[in-house]
Amino acid sequence: MARKVAILTGGGDCPGLNAVIRAATLKLTRAGYEMVGVRGGWRGLIENDYMPLDIQSISGILPRGGTILGTSRTNPMKTEGGVELLVDNLRQNEIWATIAIGGDDTLGVANQLNGKYALNMVGVPKTIDNDLSGTDYTFGFDTAVQIATENIDRLHTTAESHDRVIVVEIMGRHTGWITIMAGIAGGADVILIPEYDVSVEETCDIIRRRQSGNKSFSIVAVSEGAKLTTKEGEEQLVVQSDEVDAFGNVKLGGVANILAKEIKRRTGFETRATVLGHIQRGGTPTAHDRVLATRYGAKAAEMVQNEEFGLMAALQGDAIVAVPLEVAVGERKMVRQEFWDLAQTFFA
């Protein structure tokens, strides 16, 4: 009888998920495995919500954003009786191995299921935030950077026409990867990210220096997770709501509006705020992300075939390798000093 392999997508969606599903399904189906799609991330394994995956069902999905399987932020470890149900369901449905495509939350669960519950888990690193360790890049990140950069370019022309400061809020819950890359690529004049501190006063000073140097407009790129700090030592993480999800994450958002008001109040310059939000997660993946996601999917299939469990497909240099899941979810990958130094070179 063919061995059954489940595949699921968990956490926030991102462009490239379908490319992973396609590559893994194609390789494993051809190798004689039976593929099962799990709907809605870990929720589908708790509720026995599956869809068949075969060569036909993956046709045409490579360029499609989102995930044909659906996703959720369900945490079986925090759901009453969740893990027990999930373990029972996997056994009863004779699912031999699971490919979990996700970020630190989803892969943290996969790591525990593999270690504590002896389930065969393979991970694939997904998140626009690019904050997973063990891999140079997650797929979805390149697309998000591209979208954010295009939008900074657009904001530039309108900021310049109106002699305005525009503050653009970019996603990134704990790290500033998207903001720093898009900020450098889009020529932002000030960049604020969670990893390094630029106070509100310093931000205003940079804008004033630009204005006195005959630049009548400025673009400020700020990560949604950047804390607003002042020289007096005040610190503010701006949240949309204090409510936490099943993984303990608060809903971020709104920092650009507050910063824009502060810039206007302190400098007198006309200032606007733009929040890019989920636009950064939608739509078709870039060619780079399609290739990376395809390589990850093919590697995940190979790991299943070789019975290499408890590992995640990863990019190191230009090689696709396998790293322990616990390395991936152990320590968050923060923006390196060299990128920060480079970005600062262009602050006025």
Give me the active site residues, please. 129
Q: Does 172 bind ligand F6P (CB under 6 A)?
A: yes
Q: From CA 25, how far away is CA 20, in angstroms rounded?
A: 8
Q: How far is the CB of 147 from ligand F6P (least distance, A)?
A: 12
Q: From CA 150, how far away is CA 140, in angstroms rounded?
A: 16
Q: Does 12 bind ligand F6P (CB under 6 A)?
A: yes
Amino acid letter for position 3: R
Segment near ligand F6P (CB under 6 A), from 74-82, 165-173, 293-301, 321-329?
165-173
Segment near ligand F6P (CB under 6 A), from 127-135, 189-197, 268-276, 317-325?
127-135
For residue 127, give Cα distances in angstroms to 20, 87, 160, 169, 278.
13, 26, 33, 18, 13
Residue from 39, 173, 210, 295 touching ligand F6P (CB under 6 A): that is 173
Q: From CA 280, how far away is CA 297, in angstroms rounded?
A: 22
Segment near ligand F6P (CB under 6 A), from 61-69, 166-174, 189-197, 310-318?
166-174
Do residues 183 and 172 lie in contact, with contact meaning Cβ atoms separated by under 8 Å?
Answer: no
Q: Which residue's CB is nearer to ligand F6P, number 25 or number 130?
A: 130
Residue from 129, 262, 289, 326 touching ligand F6P (CB under 6 A): that is 129
Amino acid letter for position 1: M
Beta-strand relationship, 121-125 and 95-102: parallel
Q: How far is the CB of 286 from ligand F6P (least distance, A)?
A: 17
Segment near ligand F6P (CB under 6 A), from 19-27, 61-69, 121-129, 184-192?
121-129
Tokens of 297: 């999917």
Total residues contacting ligand F6P by CB under 6 A comes to 11
Q: Does 171 bind ligand F6P (CB under 6 A)?
A: yes
**Rule CB under 6 A: which of 236-255 touch ligand F6P?**
252
Residue nearest to ligand F6P (CB): 171
Q: How far apart are the first and last CA of the chain?
A: 66
**Rule CB under 6 A: which of 98-117 touch ligand F6P?**
103
Closest CA to 333 of 63, 107, 31: 107
Which residue do the tokens 């799990």 mark? Answer: 38
**DSSP-based three-state secondary structure for 270:** coil
Cα-Cα-Cα-Cα dihedral sign, residues 319, 321, 326, 328: positive
Q: From CA 252, how far away is CA 185, in angstroms rounded?
A: 24
Q: How far is the CB of 129 from ligand F6P (least distance, A)?
A: 5
Residue from 7, 86, 128, 148 touching ligand F6P (CB under 6 A): that is 128
Can you list the positions of beta strands (E) in 18-120? 34-38, 50-53, 95-102
Q: How far is the CB of 325 from ligand F6P (least distance, A)?
A: 18
Q: Which residue's CB is nearer to ligand F6P, number 26 or number 171?
A: 171
Q: How far is the CB of 165 from ligand F6P (least distance, A)?
A: 24
Contact positions vs ligand F6P (CB under 6 A) = 12, 103, 127-129, 171-173, 224, 252, 281
